[in-house]
Structure formats: C-alpha cells, structure tokens
Structure 1
C-alpha cells in the first residue's frame, strides 16, 4: 500500500511541564503537511513512544487525525514487545480516526523468527487497518529476517515495511519477493536515494521535519528520471540528515525545530536535550534561512524535567 513517498516520523511536542502540547502539535502537523510530508507516523520512536502512556498515545492519535483531516494518512505506532498490549492499543487506535498502524519489532525479549511472525500475525488479525511493519534491529536487538517479512506480506492487511536495517541486499530481496502493492520505506534518511534505486517506495523520515521540501524534491527528481538532480540534492542535504542523528534521536530534531521557529519543547527522560555546544554545532549545519532562534533558548533544557516532576498542574487534555 502506498502511503506516499515522504512520510515524517513525527516528534511529540511537550510543554514546559513535560506534558503533550496539543497547540504545538497542531502547528507542527500543519507545517509538516505544508512542507513536503505525504503522511505522518505518530508515536513512533521519534515520537518518544517509550515515554508515552497509552492514554497519551490515543489522545495524540485522535488529535493528529483530526488536524490532518484526511489531507495525508496518519499512521499510529501501536507496537510493543507485549503482543496482548499491542492488540489492545491497536483496537483502541482504530477508533481514533487513524488510517493505519505501525508495529515495531518486539524489543528486549528477543523472540525467534517464528515468534515474530506469530506476534505480527496476531496483531494484524485483530484489526482491519492496514499494517506497516517496522524493522529496526539497532533498537530492538533482533531484526525481522527478509524471509519472515515476505511471509508476513501474504497476510492481507500487512501492506508495508519500514526498513531501518541499512541492509540494501535484504531490502532488495524483500522488494523482489513480495506482492507489487507491498511497499518498502527506508527507515534511514541517508539511504532514501539508494532505497529508491532498488525499487523502494520512499522514506519514513526524521529530517523531513526541517528539510521536507528538499527530500520531496529529491524523490520527485529521481522518479521523474532526473537522477543527476536527485544525486545533487542528496549530496547537499546529507549533512543535515547526519546531524539529526549526531546525538540520540529525537533530541537533535527537536532542537532543530525549536531553532527554526516550530516550538516542540524538549525530550523526556531518559533522553536528554542537546547541550549548548551541540546546539551551536547543529545551528551551523541547518540551512541558514531556516534558523530563527539560533542560540536563544525558548525552554530551559536542564530544568524542564525537574519542572515537570515538581509541577502540581493537571495534565492538559486535547479535546
């Protein structure tokens, strides 16, 4: 299933108290749609899903779907290493108006390939929503083998995979052995162009938060046959892509968004915001015309978590 070519793995904006900032989320969603994003992945790793409660995730799914209002597909991250919990969250997510779900590889408990197959099969059978698999062995400790993905693609509503294995040989095998309407998206920004070259559909991107139009132009140039232009854009934006992962994600992209005037707050523990030196380095890599705040701090990066823990304010609700 084609969700578009440039999907953004959306950050979750937080306010001064570390709670979801829904006003900032509205601004972010509209900005992403206006600047190159064909679709949004919500509450994935970039959205700090390990730190979000199920209630927060559902509120975020519902709110994002309402703001997107059918302009782009909204894909909800409902996967975990607990199959029963993934099934329950997926069922609830289906009532929020999202268009599809994304299921990350079960982490920490290191299931076998058959265990992975049965996990994904059980969740997919519990919903009518389209399912995107998410293979990210660098974070999950175990990867989905190409043979397992090919087997899962036979299940009618498992329609796509986000591949963050950086293994182009494995991706080539998946593309060649799955149905024509099964889509493969790169999970690594810097491999967007190589993945397109082997027959991939596009990218689930972090960098698209700040260079979405550039990534979209690169993809469009490649698909229209202007490979030289696509290569030139890739070379130009590669430093920004690499900068988004110079420190544990999503701290760099959140800092970049704050610098460009899209206020999203800081990260939740156990992640840490960038230091002042790291922010200065990042500001020098971002396109100069985008940087609005430079070293000016909208939030106090070292005190946000303390403020949240000490705050007695109730959690804001989106609706």
Structure 2
C-alpha cells in the first residue's frame, strides 16, 4: 500500500480487560468507529497506546489483529520506541514482515542522545526497512529535539517521509514548510494546537481525543482543508477544553475516561498507571460531560468514509 500522508491518523489506545489482557472486542469497536468517521490511518503502540508496558508479543499480536480488521482500508503504522538501535531495527523488520504499512519512530528512549547519535539511530532504522517512516518530534516529553538541520540531514533517506510535529511551537510548521517545501509531510501531534497547525499548513493530524470523538476530529480537519474556517472554529472552540486533556501526564487515563463516556472504550489501564480517583476524577469527568451536554451537530459532509 502506498502511503498517503494526509488526514486524521488516530493514535489509538490499547484496550485491556479487567484481567489485564488485551481486549480485542472493545478495541475493534473503537477501531470501526475511527474508520466510519473517516480516519485515514491508524497508529498503534504510541505513548497513548501504553507502548512502554506492552510486551513484544502483545505489540505484534495487536499489529496482526489490526491489519486483519482494517483489511487494507487505511494504512496501519506501528510506533517504535526503543532504547537500542539493535532492538529498534528488530521491531521495524518484524513489523514489515507482518504487513505493517508504515512506522512512527521516536528518538532513543532513556538516553539523551546527541544530534549525531540521534541521526545515526534514525538512519540505521531507515536503512533496515522499506517501510515509510514518520519521525515523532516531541522534545517536551522525550527531551530530544529533532532540529531543522537534523531533518535536512535525514532528507537522504527516501522512506523518511513525514514528521509528527509536537514541539508545541506552532511556528515550526511554517519553518518546516519554508525549509523543505513538501519533502516531508507534516502532522500536528498536539491536540490543543491542532487547528492552528492545520491552518498553517499541516497535512494531517495524529490525534488523541479522536479516540473518544472521532467524527468531531475528522470534521475539524476536513472543514479547515475545505477552507470552511468559521465552521471548523465553532467545533474547535467547543472541543478545546477536552483536547487539553491530551497534554497532561495522565493523558492515557483521561482519554480512556472520555472513551468510556462516549461508549467507545473502558477506563482499564495497565500498572503502574492507576485509575483516576477523587477530586481529580470529578474534574476530568466534568470537562467531558460538559462537552457531551452541548455536543455540536456536525455539518453535512464533514466526516465519514
């Protein structure tokens, strides 16, 4: 499948049963909701997918299952977040052998790699696979920034094709376009900065709250691309308090709470994460329920297959 780097790519949550096993029944319910709403790609095993607590077997089982359910309707990408180059290459090759359509790639985990080390890491993985790659640039959470000069060095790898822009600096979208034109496709990766980034020219949105609100997320993206800015802004202003749950350390718990509230998931997380309780829980539920109480009617044609 040729990668089409555009549209909303949900970073889906990993669903667990009460017995802490993979919950494919609930996962499939959510996955179909994403596809029905018009998602144009699926990303597995990201931060929101609780990658750090999944075994390799679980990651690959999740990938194989998703590829089977999606059945070619949209690309399926596996996130790679590994501590060593050797392990990252192993994951990339295994993902390719199982039929993944692409990869999302983080810098080395748990080591503050220098720019040179980061570039060698990315290059080694790119050379190990034919799969198209999105570089996830999130210096806020992962402490390593991929600078414009570093991206310039990565242009020699044809399969490094896209950037998940999560620096929290909206101007970086413009800087990337000014420097590279359309060499890299740019995806906004911070929900509460999504509309601003798409207006500035981002090609897509790796989204989190889409897991609970797929139609609204797709509608915002499509309306902006149709230059129906006022309509998109109305939805976005309604959505923003919920979107801000995406930039909290407990984003996994918060977004799973939203999934449960909209009937698209459960709140089950894997330890060391714990369920949100007390005043914090009430605060988050109020944000979600306040939004649900005035959920907007979406313009015709703004979402769907």
Name the counterpart of 1:161.
Answer: 163
- Listed as ranges, the matches of 1:201-212 within 5 Å are 201-212=203-214
Name the counterpart of 1:219.
Answer: 221
Query: How far, CA to CA, are the matches of 1:136 and 1:3 in structure 2?
Result: 19
Note if contact 1:184-1:201 (Cα within 8 Å) is conserved in structure 2: yes
Name the counterpart of 1:64.
Answer: 66
Q: Per-residue deviation at 1:199?
A: 1.6
Q: Per-residue deviation at 1:290?
A: 9.9
TM-score relative to the length of structure 2: 0.89
Query: How far, CA to CA, are the matches of 1:85 and 1:270 in structure 2?
Result: 23
Q: Partner of 1:64: helix, strand, or coil? A: helix
- Listed as ranges, the matches of 1:132-143 within 5 Å are 132-143=134-145
Q: Which moved further from structure 2: 21-30 or 63-72?
A: 21-30
Note if contact 1:42-1:77 (Cα within 8 Å) is conserved in structure 2: yes
Note if contact 1:195-1:202 (Cα within 8 Å) is conserved in structure 2: no
Q: Per-residue deviation at 1:136?
A: 1.2
Q: Per-residue deviation at 1:132?
A: 0.6
Q: Per-residue deviation at 1:265?
A: 4.3
Q: Per-residue deviation at 1:42?
A: 0.2
Q: Give unpaired runs (5+ residues) of structure 2.
A: 296-305
Q: Per-residue deviation at 1:230?
A: 2.0
Name the counterpart of 1:88.
Answer: 90
Query: How far, CA to CA, are the matches of 1:246 and 1:170 in structure 2?
Result: 21
Q: Give unpaired runs (5+ residues) of structure 1.
A: 292-319
Match of 2:232 among 230, 233, 248: 230
Give the alignment's Cα RMSD to 1 decimal. 1.9
Name the counterpart of 1:76.
Answer: 78
Q: Per-residue deviation at 1:181?
A: 4.7
Q: Higher helix proportion, which one?
A: 2
User: In the superposition, relative to structure 1, how do residues 3 and 66 fare at CA in structure 2: closer, same or farther (>3 Å)?
Assistant: farther
Name the counterpart of 1:267.
Answer: 269
Name the counterpart of 2:176.
Answer: 174
Q: Per-residue deviation at 1:261?
A: 1.9
Note if contact 1:107-1:139 (Cα within 8 Å) is conserved in structure 2: no
1:279 has 2:281 as partner: yes
TM-score relative to the length of structure 1: 0.85
Query: How far, CA to CA, are the matches of 2:294 and 2:8 in structure 1?
Result: 20
Q: Per-residue deviation at 1:242?
A: 1.1
Name the counterpart of 2:298.
Answer: none
